[in-house]
Amino acid sequence: MSGMRVFVGIDLGSTTTKAVILDDDEQVVGRGITNSRSNYDVACAIVRDEAFVRARFSMTGERMRRDPALGHVSDLFLPLLERHFRRQQHLALLASLRKSMLAAADTPRHRPYHEELSRTIEDIVDRMIERAQEHFAEGAARKSDFFRDIAAADYMHLAEERGNPKGITFETLCSMFDAAILVVENTIEEDAFNAHIRQALEAALPGVRASRPHPPGVPPGGDGDGAAPGALDLARYADALTRAIDDVRSVELIEAATVGTGYGRQRLPFPKEQIRSEILCHGLGAHAMFPKTRTVLDIGGQDTKAIQVDAEGIVTSFQMNDRCAAGCGRYLGYIADEMNLGLHELGPLAQQSHHRVKINSTCTVFAGAELRDRLALGQKREDILAGLHRAIILRAMSLLARSGGIADEFTFTGGVARNAAAVAALRDLVLENYGERTLNISHESIYTGALGAALFAVRAEKKAAA
Amino acid sequence: MSDIQKEPSMLLQKRLLADHFDALARAPEEGKKVVYTFVPGNLNELVRSFDLLPVLPEINALQSGMRKLSGGYIAEAEKHGHSEDVCTYVKCDIGMLRKGNIGPTGKRLPKPDLLLLSYTGCFTFMKWFELLREEYDCPVAMLHVPYQADGRIDPHQRDYVVQQLRSEVIPKLEQVSGKKFDEERLRSMLRLSAKAEDDLVWVLESARNVPSPIDAYFGGVYYIGPIFSAFRGTPEGIEYYATLRREIEERVAKREGPITPDGQLENERYRLVVEGPPNWTSFREFWHMFYEEDAVVVASTYTKVGGLYDTGFRHDPDHPLETLADYCLGCYTNLGLPARVALLERYIRDYKADGLLINSVKSCNSFSVGQLLMLRELEQRTGVPGAFIESDLVDPRYFSAANIKNRIESYLQMLDQKRQSKVAS
Amino acid sequence: MTATLTDLLQLARSLHDDLDLTQVSKWKAAKPGRKAVGHMPIYVPRELIHAAGMLPVGVVGGGDRLEIIRGDAYFQSYICRIPRSTIELALSGRLDVLDGMLFPSICDVIRNLSGMWRMLFPDRYVHYVDVPQNFDPAVGGQFWRRELETMRDDFARLSGHPVDDEDLRASIAVYNDNRAALRDLYRERSRRPWVFPLSEVYLLLRAGNVLPPEEHTQMLRAYLRQAPLDSSRREQDQSRVVLVGMFCEQPPHGLVVTLERAGCSAVDDDLLLGLRWLTRDVAVDGDPLSNLVDAYLTASASTASRYSPDGDRARWLLDSVKRNSAEGVVFCAPSFCDPALLDQPMLVAALDRAGIPHTEFKYAEDTGQFAVIREQAGTFSDSIRLWSTP
C-alpha cells in the first residue's frame, strides 16, 4: 500500500465550513464545504471527509490521465463516476434517514396509527429514492448540493401530497423528518470514497453511456444495448477503470498536518498550535491565489475584514467591523427576505438602476422598516438596491481606510464578492478614492481562509521537520 | 476567587478600602461629612484637610461592574428615561442609587453633603452631578478645569483654577465641614502625596525591564487604586506604595513576570502599550485573554486618568493651590490629542513595546473620539502595528468575548508572524 | 406669495444646500485678501472674527445630502454624525475656503475633534474655544477675557488686520442688530407660527451660518416684513410646541417639515442656538472685551452644554413654555448626543412636575426616513389638542 502526504486546512465559519487539502507541492488536491451546523465537530468532520473524497477524485483523474488505456476518456468518465458516487452517497443517507424516521415513528405517542405512519414513511422514502435518480441524472440542476436541502425539499413535497388532515397529518410527517434529519446529518461517514466508489463504478458501467455529441478522435459508441449515436460505450474500459480505482483506493492519504481557522476555531477539536486566526489565513490564502495581493477585503455573512499583507502574504495590519454588524452580508439577506427575492437576485436587480437612491444607514435592525418606507414613497426596488449596495461598500471603504488604504493589487473575497452590483460599487469607489487598482476576485474565494490554513499546515510541518 | 495569589500590597489595599467603606457607612451616625467627587482632578488632600470623607462614584460604578451588578443598575436607569446612548458609569450610579445605594463592600453609602464637581477631562461629569443634585438636593462646588488643547498649561488656566479653589471650592468645603481652611495641614498632606507618587512612578517604570515585573494595565488598575481614590496624601497611601515598591523590587531582582489572577506570567512573549479604560464587567476574562497568549501590558494611559506623574509632575507642598491646579490640568484625558499621541509614542519606545492596543469604550467619548486617528498616527510614527477593539466600561451588553478574543488573538499572531519573518530575512 | 418672499426663501434654501460654501468663496473673491474662519455650533464670539475683517462661518456638518466616504473611517459607530460629516467636508476640500477653524467646548466629541483637526491639518489655524463654566466676573470672567484676548490677537495675526476697540464696538453693534432681528423673528413666530413656519425659519437661521451678519439681518427683516403679506398663510389647527435638543448636530430639513405636517407648530426651539446665544444686546460703549465677557456671564442662553449652577435649565424651559403659550415639549436630540441626552431626564422630570406634556425621539443629521417621527409627533400633537379642548 502506497502513501501520500497531505495537508489539511479547515475554516469553521459562521455559516459554512470549508476544508482544503494540499499535497507536498502546495497544490490543491481537494476541497469541501458544508453548512456549519450547531455541532461544529460534525461540520468539521463532514467537510474534511468531503475534501478527502475530492482529493481521491483528483487522484483518480491523475491516475487515469497517466494510463495509456484511459487517458483519452478521463474527462468523460470522471464526471459520470462522480455523479454516480454522489447518488450512492445520497442513497446511503436516504437509507439512514428511513431508519431514523421509522425509529422516530416507533414511539408511544404514535402508537394508535403506527402502522399507517410507517407505511407512509416507507412510501415517501421509496419515492425519494426514485427522485434521487433524477437529481443525479446527467445535466440535472440541483438547487443545493447539501443533502439536507435536497431531502427536505423532496420530503416536504411528498409529505404534503400524502398528508391527510383526518389521518396522518402533514405536521406529523414533518416532525418525523425534523427528528431524523439531525441524526442523519450528525452521523459521520468514515471514508466515504472507499465505501461507495465501487458501487458507483458498477452502477456507472453496465449499459450506461456518457453522451458525447462530438467525440473528437474517439471511435463512436460500440454495440451496447440501445446505444444512441454519438454515445460512448464505457463498458469496454471496465477493467482498466476498476484497476485504476483500486489503485487509488489503496493509496493511503497521510495527514501530515492540519490547521484550523475561522470564527468557530476555538471549538475545533485541535490543540492550540494547530489553530490560526482567520485574518492570517485569509491574508495568506489571498496571497496564494493572487501573489501580487497587498490588500484584501472580505465581506462575509457576519463580519467584514480589511487586511494588508506584504509580498510574502504576511499580514501587516487589519481591521474588522465594530460591534455593529451593519453592512455585512447578513444585511443583504434581510433585504432579500424583505423583498421576497433570492440573495443572488439582488445584485442583478440593483444593476438595472438608473437613479440610485442615497441610503445612509445599513443598520440591520431597521432594514425592513426603512425598505417598506421607501417602497411606500414610490422609490423603485432597483434604485433602493443600488443605494444599499453602495452603502455596504462605503462601510467597507471605511474599514479599508482604517487598515491603511487600498494598495495594488486588491483582492475581494467572501460571499458578497459574488454579487456583481457590490463589485461594481467597489470598483467605482476604489477608482474615485485610490485610483487604478487591479481587482482580483476568485470563483473559489470562499476557500481563501481554508487555503491559508492548509498553507500554514505545510509550513508548520516543514518547520518541524527542519 | 480563592485561588488568586494575594500579595501583601493587595491585602493591604483590600483592608484600606474596607476600612474606608466602613468609615463611610458610619459617617451619618458619627456626624462625619461626605463629599462626592470624581477621580480625574480629585482634590483628595484638600477634602481630607477638612476631615471630610470622599466618595468616588466612578469607583463604585466600576466595582459594580466587576461584581456583575452594573447590568441591572443600568437597566434601572434606562427604565427611568436615561438614554441607552450615554455613559454607563452615570447610569450605573443612578441605578445603584435607586436600588438603595449599597456600596462595593455591601454597606450603604452615605448621602453627599457636598458634590465636588471637578470638571476635568470629561464633559459628562458635569451632567452626572447635575443629575445627582436632583436626587440629593445638596450644594455643588463646581471646579471648571480648562482643557490643555495645546498640550501645555497656560498660566491663565492655572490662575483660573486657583481662583476657583479660593472662591468656590474652599468656601464650600469650609461651609460643609464647619472648619477653616488650614493651609499648613494641606501642605503636609501634599508632602505625603509626592512621596507616594515617587513610589508609584517607580513601580510603573519598572515595566521597562525585560521581562516586565508588572502588568501596567490590568495590574496597573490595582496599583493606581489608592492614589486615584481616597488615599492620596495619607499615611496609608505612603504605606501602600512603599509595600508595593518592595514587592516589585523583589520581582525585578528575581526577573519574575507579573502576577495575574491565573498565576504568574512566566514567559513574556508580547509587550503591549494599551490606550483606553478596561472593561470592568469581564475584567478577569479580558485579562485572561492576554495571559494565555503570554502578553504583558508594559504601559497604559488609563493609569494616568487620575494623575499623570511619569512626565515629572509631583504635588508641590510649597505651592499648594497651584500644584492642585496643575494636577487637575495634567490628568490624561485633559490633554489634547497631539499630546496624547506624543505620550503614547514615548511609551512605545521607552517600554520597548511590540504593539499598541486600543480598547475603545462606548461610554467614554473623552477617550474614544479620535482614537482611530491616533492609532494611524502612532503606527506611522513608530512602525509598531496597532490593534483596535471595542467594549464598554460597565455595560455587559457591550462586551462580546468571542469577538474581542478573536481580535486579540489575530493581532498577537500577526505580531508573531511579523517577528518570525524579520528573523528569517 | 410675493415674488420677493419666494426669492428670499429660495436664496436661503440654496445656502442651506450649498455644501461647497460657494457663498463664502464669493465673499472672499469680492475683495483680495479676505479671510474666513469656520466654527462649530454653539457659542463663539463672532464679533472678534468680524472685527478682524473676516467672515465667521458656521459649520454644522453635512446634513443628509453628503455621502460619507472618508469620515466614517475616523469614528466608531457609537459617535454622533456631525464630526464624521465635518471631517468628510474637510477631507473632500469643501472647507479649504476656511482659513481657520474654531471648536467651542460643547462636548467631548467636538473637543477631541479640535485635536484631530490639528493632526489632520497641521498648517491651518485651529483653536479650541474654552468657554468658562464659572460665572463669577472675577474668576470665570477674567479667564474668558484672557481667552478673548488670545483670540483677538490670533485673528489679528491671521487676517493681518489689527483689531482695535473701535472695530470691535462696530462689530458688536452689527451683531446686536442681528440678534435683535432674530429676537423679533422668534417673538413674531411665537405669536403667529402659521405666518412664520419652522420649515422657513430654519432655513433663515441656516443662512446666518454663511452670510455676513449685515446681510443676514437684512434677510431676516425682509422676511419679517413680507411673510405676513402672503395671504395664503392662515391660522391652522396645530399644537404649539417647544423643541429641545437641536443645538449642535442639525436635523435634516425634511424632519422639520415632517414635524409641521404632523401638526406641531414650533413656538420656540434651540436650533442653531449659537446665533441667539446672547439674549440681550451687548453694551457698545466702554471696553468691548469687558462688554462681551459681561454678556456671556449674565445673558447666555441656558443649554445642556453650559453648567447650570442652580438648576436653572428646567426653569428656562418652563419659562419658554409659559412665555410662548406652548402646549407641549418635543425632545428631539441627535443620537449619541451626550449633552442633550444626559440633560433630558432632568427636564422631563421638571415638565412632569409641572404637568406639561412631552414626547421624545432621536434623529441623525442624515436621517432619511421620517415615518416613525411623523407617527409619533402626529399622535403627540393630536393628544395635546384633545387634552387642551375644554
- Taken in order of first residue, the domains within chain B and their CATH numbers are 8-177 (3.40.50.11890)
Tell me if B133 sits within 8 A of B111, measured CB to CB.
no
What value does the mean pLDDT take over residues A208-217?
45
CB atoms within 10 A of CB B359: 25
Task: Tell me which H or E stretch contains B410.
Answer: helix B401-424
pLDDT number for residue A78: 86
pLDDT in tens, B263-282: 999 999 999 999 999 999 99
pLDDT number for residue A229: 42
Q: How far apart are CA C300 and CA B357, in angstroms?
A: 42
Question: Using the 8-state DSSP alphabet, how is residue A419 labeled?
Answer: -
Residues in C touching A401 (Cβ below 8 Å): 70, 73
Subunits close to A (at least 3 CB pairs below 8 A): B, C
**Stronger pLDDT, B322 or A346, i.e. the higher one:** B322
pLDDT number for residue A325: 63
pLDDT in tens, C106-120: 999 999 999 999 999
What value does the mean pLDDT take over residues A190-207?
80
What does pLDDT average to over chain C?
Answer: 95
Residue A207 phi, psi (nearest 5):
70, 0
Q: How far apart are CA C264 and CA C242, in angstroms?
A: 9
pLDDT number for residue C291: 98
Site from B85, B294, B376, B410 to mutate, A interface, most A CB atoms within 10 angstroms = B410
Q: Is B374 helix (H, G, I), strand (E, B) or coil?
A: helix
Residues in B touching A320 (Cβ below 8 Å): 406-407
In terms of DSSP bridges, do strands C55-58 and B270-275 run parallel, antiparallel, or are they unpaired? unpaired
CB atoms within 10 A of CB A211: 14
What is the edge-to-edge ordering of all strands in the sheet holding A295-299?
A315-320, A304-309, A295-299, A410-413, A439-440
Q: What is the dihedral of CA A382, A387, A391, A397, to 10 degrees?
A: 100
pLDDT number for residue A166: 80
Which residues of B touch chain A, with CB atoms under 8 Å apart? 372, 375-376, 379, 385-386, 388, 390, 398, 400, 402-403, 405-407, 409-411, 413-414, 417-418, 421
Q: How far apart are CA C372 and CA C387, in angstroms?
A: 22
pLDDT number for residue A300: 82
Q: How far apart are CA B283 and CA A130, in angstroms?
A: 59
Complete domains list, chain A, with CATH: 291-441 (3.30.420.40)
Tell me if A40 sits within 8 A of A186, measured CB to CB.
no
Cell 502612532 belongs to residue: B378
Which pTM value belongs to this model? Answer: 0.89
Residues in A touching B403 (Cβ below 8 Å): 323
Tell me if B329 sits within 8 A of B308, measured CB to CB.
no
pLDDT in tens, A86-123: 899 899 999 999 999 999 999 898 888 989 999 999 99
Exposure string over A139-160, b if 16+ CB within 10 A, otherwise e: eeeeeeebbbebbbebbeebbe
CA distance C220 to chain B (A): 35
The set of cell numbers assigned to C166 is 473701535
pLDDT in tens, B160-190: 999 999 999 999 999 999 999 999 999 999 9
Tell me if B385 sits within 8 A of B358, measured CB to CB.
no
Tell me if B291 sits within 8 A of B376, measured CB to CB.
no
Confidence of residue A217 (pLDDT cuts 50, 70, 90): very low
Residue C130 touches partner B, C-beta closer than 8 Å = yes
Of A277, A312, A316, the CB nearest to B406: A277
Q: Where are the alpha helices (DSSP H) in B181-261?
A: 183-205, 220-228, 235-253
Cβ of C368 within 8 Å of Cβ of A370? The answer is yes
Q: How far apart are CA B333 and CA B363, in angstroms?
A: 14
Residues in A touching C364 (Cβ below 8 Å): 360
pLDDT at B425 over 80: no
What would the DSSP string read from start to end of B64-121? HHHTT-HHHHHHHHHHTT--TTS-HHHHHHHHHHHTT-B-TTSSBPPPPSEEEEEE-S
Q: Where are the alpha helices (DSSP H) in chain C?
A: 3-17, 22-29, 46-51, 82-91, 108-120, 142-159, 165-191, 198-210, 213-226, 253-261, 288-298, 312-323, 338-354, 371-388
Residues in C touching B87 (Cβ below 8 Å): 338, 342
Helices A74-105 and A192-204: crossing angle, nearest 10°?
110
Of A277, A316, A404, the CB nearest to B410: A277
Which residue of B lies nearest to A281 if distances are taken between CA atoms?
B410
Q: How far apart are CA B59 and CA B227, in angstroms?
A: 12
Q: How far apart are CA A274 and CA B107, in angstroms?
A: 49
Residues in C touching A360 (Cβ below 8 Å): 64, 364, 366-368
**Stronger pLDDT, C372 or B28, i.e. the higher one:** B28
C132: Cα within 13 Å, side-chain hemisphere? 30
What value does the mean pLDDT take over residues B292-307?
97
pLDDT number for residue A364: 64
What value does the mean pLDDT take over residues A226-249?
73
CA distance A363 to chain C (A): 11
pLDDT number for residue B1: 40
Residue B366 touches partner C, C-beta closer than 8 Å = yes
Q: Is A330 helix (H, G, I), strand (E, B) or coil?
A: helix
In terms of DSSP bridges, do strands C36-39 and B355-361 run parallel, antiparallel, or are they unpaired? unpaired
What value does the mean pLDDT take over residues A310-323?
88
CB neighbour list of residue B100: distance below 8 Å, 6 or more residues apart: B108
CA angle C60, C65, C68 (to 5 degrees): 80
CA distance B335 to chain A (A): 24
pLDDT in tens, B352-363: 999 999 999 999
Residues in C touching A324 (Cβ below 8 Å): 77
Confidence of residue C388 (pLDDT cuts 50, 70, 90): low
C247: Cα within 13 Å, side-chain hemisphere? 28
Annotated domain spans of chain C: 21-167
Cell 488536491 belongs to residue: A29
Residue C335 touches partner B, C-beta closer than 8 Å = yes
Cβ of B402 within 8 Å of Cβ of A263? The answer is yes
Q: How far apart are CA C59 and CA C88, in angstroms?
A: 12
What value does the mean pLDDT take over residues C306-331?
93
CA distances from B125 to B42, B56, B305, B336, B366 (A): 12, 12, 14, 18, 11
Residue A213 phi, psi (nearest 5):
-55, -45
pLDDT number for residue B415: 95
pLDDT in tens, C118-167: 999 999 999 999 999 999 999 999 999 999 999 999 999 999 999 999 99
Confidence of residue A206 (pLDDT cuts 50, 70, 90): low
Tell me if A388 sits within 8 A of A335, measured CB to CB.
yes
pLDDT in tens, B219-259: 999 999 999 999 999 999 999 999 999 999 999 999 999 99
Cβ of C368 within 8 Å of Cβ of A361? The answer is yes
Q: How far apart are CA B307 and CA B228, in angstroms?
A: 7
pLDDT number for residue A70: 84
pLDDT at C367 over 90: no
Burial of C22 (0-12, 13-18, 19+ CB in 10 A): middle
Helices B401-424 and A278-289: crossing angle, nearest 10°?
50
Q: How far apart are CA C132 and CA C118, in angstroms?
A: 22
pLDDT number for residue A208: 46
pLDDT number for residue B317: 97
Confidence of residue A335 (pLDDT cuts 50, 70, 90): confident
The set of cell numbers assigned to B109 is 453609602
Q: How far apart are CA C365 and CA C80, in angstroms?
A: 9
3-state helix, strand, coil split of chain C in percent (to 5) is 55, 10, 35
Q: How far apart are CA B102 and CA B120, in angstroms?
A: 27
Task: Tell me which H or E stretch contains A52.
Answer: helix A40-66
- Fold assignment, C21-167: Rossmann fold (3.40.50)
Residue C135 touches partner B, C-beta closer than 8 Å = no
What value does the mean pLDDT take over residues B305-325?
97
Residue C67 touches partner A, C-beta closer than 8 Å = yes
CA B379 remoteness from chain centre: 25
The set of cell numbers assigned to C202 is 430654519
pLDDT at B328 over 80: yes
CA distance A445 to chain B (A): 20
Which residue of A lies nearest to C73 if distances are taken between CA atoms?
A398
Confidence of residue A263 (pLDDT cuts 50, 70, 90): confident
Confidence of residue C2 (pLDDT cuts 50, 70, 90): low
Which C-chain residues 27-66 have CB contacts (< 8 A) with chain A?
Answer: 64-65
Q: Is B34 helix (H, G, I), strand (E, B) or coil?
A: strand
What does pLDDT average to over chain B?
Answer: 94
Of A312, A322, A323, the CB nearest to B421: A312
pLDDT at A211 over 70: no
Q: How far apart are CA B412 and CA B54, in angstroms?
A: 41
First-residue to last-residue Cα distance in chain C: 35
pLDDT in tens, C53-71: 999 999 999 999 898 888 9
Nearest Cα to Cα of residue B281 among B389, B361, B371: B361
CA dihedral for C59, C65, C71, C77, sign (positive or negative): positive
pLDDT at B316 over 80: yes
Cβ of C107 within 8 Å of Cβ of B90? The answer is no
Site from B382, B413, B423 to mutate, A interface, most A CB atoms within 10 angstroms = B413
Residues in C touching A373 (Cβ below 8 Å): 369, 371
Of C72, C368, C371, the CB nearest to A398: C72
The set of cell numbers assigned to C330 is 418635543
Nearest Cα to Cα of residue C302 among C242, C222, C218: C242
Tell me if B214 sits within 8 A of B201, measured CB to CB.
no
Tell me if B141 sits within 8 A of B170, measured CB to CB.
no
pLDDT number for residue C385: 83
CA distance C76 to chain A (A): 7
What value does the mean pLDDT take over residues B380-389?
95
Which B-chain residues 334-363 have CB contacts (< 8 A) with chain C?
Answer: 336-338, 340-341, 360, 362
Residue B90 touches partner C, C-beta closer than 8 Å = yes
pLDDT number for residue C372: 85
Nearest Cα to Cα of residue C283 among C296, C266, C267: C296
In terms of DSSP bridges, do strands A16-22 and A3-12 run parallel, antiparallel, or are they unpaired? antiparallel
First-residue to last-residue Cα distance in chain A: 27
The set of cell numbers assigned to C191 is 405669536
Residue C381 touches partner A, C-beta closer than 8 Å = no
